[in-house]
Structure 1
Amino acid sequence: MEHRTSLSPVRPTVPNAGDGPAHGAFLADAADPHVPLRERLLGNGIPPADVTGRPRPDLASGPSDTLHEEVSEQLWSRGLAAIQLDEPLPNDRFTALGAFLGTAMPERDPAVAPYVEEEVILNLRSEHARTDDVALQPFAGNYLSLHTESSGAPVERQPRYIVLMCLAPGDASQGARTVLVPMREVARRLAPETLAVLSRTRYRDRPGVPTIARQVGDRWVFSLRDFLADELQWSYEGPEEDATAVGDALRELLAAMYAPEHAQGLQWRRGLLVVIDNTYFFHGRTSGSATPEARLRHLKRLRVV
């Protein structure tokens, strides 16, 4: 995928006293540290450590309560559940898992309507070649940059869980892999001053959106997607003189997100069921190969609030 870059990041503009928060925009530069890290991680240059599902073939046809208990146990211990079933769940049991976790979000975007079942199940099929059309990228061979789901929405409209189930892995050796990066490891790589700046910075003109970093109990939670070649417009709610540090803080955060040491990759197999806590992990996807077999990749997704 081709990425546009700027010669230099857009500098913040700081309003006069009383006019509201400082604001500005960030645009990635080719010289930014995270850019080559991203290309290596998501472009299949550095295979991330494997995440394997706990083998539980009995749960596909056994009592739903037993499956739900297994998912709860894994989510509670690490913010991630990965279970290898012998066969994918039928739609009624898949949506029942969503109902157990919370409320499944309807998929109302007209661009994805052909891929939606029962209003809440999105069929992720790799049917398209690489494309610059953002709406089609989840169904194409592009990599998907690291992000948290619905990062530009208020917390109550962000899904807490992303539920994924593999019906067909496509090209087992070269197919796209889902990449997970623990937020706790990202936070550990950031200077305290950087976290302080990010905890006062949020997307601009998005009412109710949380700050890019926020503390929940004793851990840091992030709401951000890597905007790639697009501009990230931000506002800063802190001392005006500190607003000039926002660009550097975002660079530090992106570099920490793409550091390869803590990235984990899901090698999809038929029947693999994964539940990701959106407050524990960034997630993305590597590039898929262009082979006809790779285009057979098929996952089902629920987003649960």
Structure 2
Amino acid sequence: MTDDEGGIRTRGVRRAFGTVQAVTSVDLDARPGRVTALVGPNGSGKTTLLLMLAGLLAPDAGEVRVAGLDPAVDGRAARARIGWMPDVFGTWESLTAREVLTTVAAAYRMAPDDGARRAVELLELVHLTDLADSPAHVLSRGQKQRLGLARALVHDPDVLLLDEPASGLDPRSRVDLRRLVRRLAGAGKTVLISSHVLTELDEMADDAVFLSQGRTVRSQSVDDAAAELRAWRIAALSPGALADWLTAAGITARLEVDGSALVDLDGDEAAAALLRDAVAADVPVVSLAPAGGALEQAYLRLEEERR
């Protein structure tokens, strides 16, 4: 990916706070038209990295390019291309939801009429029209998250940086968020999203970058993660028949207390073959599915390898 393609690129990025090295060495590529998941445990450097990409922190070393610009050098130009949604909504609590958006629009030097129209569009988009004239302090955590997303979209940015955007959202809002993120990527925007809910990232992300202790430890597509060796859960009407068949077939499995079994399989074709053989052996199979999301299992494998 070249710098002028409108995506995100970092190489060897470092950032310390005193003696604490928050980001040690991060290499990351996020492409336009795709959703890239930023995955890692607490303290892995995800939020610090996002702050550097947003131009709110300067890196100590390394290369950062967002939409072809260095946020630490070309701050104003970069911020015009970036939409930033932090994990905690911070705003003027006395302003209404509409005023929050029109104030941000003015900060981006949008004409008052354009800012007002944009506020109406975005409040409808995030389902806050009924609360447009309510002060921000009366909004719930989830409603503030939706307003924070609208705020990040005010100036129609090319790049979106979303830090835990689903935090506090109800199930309906989570579904709406996934659809909106996919729509934004479909429109050609670069979306980098950090979340602890890895099963949700499976449903909205195209690519993933895994961080651990401030370093990039793996980058891969979600499709590639799904095709790797991972645990599948197989259940049958007769747990005993299932266990006997697995033993007779020489298949290594981990039996669960509910009678199901976990089997490590290398992608969908291996799962289809297992199901075919079980049915041919008259095992009354009722379900066969991955035991967890592709990104969740990839992350857990990385943590096991590091230990």
Which protein has the larger Cα radius of gyration, Structure 1 or Structure 2? 2
Higher helix share: 2
TM-score range, shorter chain: under 0.3
Structure having greater relative contact order (Cα 8 Å, sep ≥ 6): 1
TM-score by length of 1: 0.24
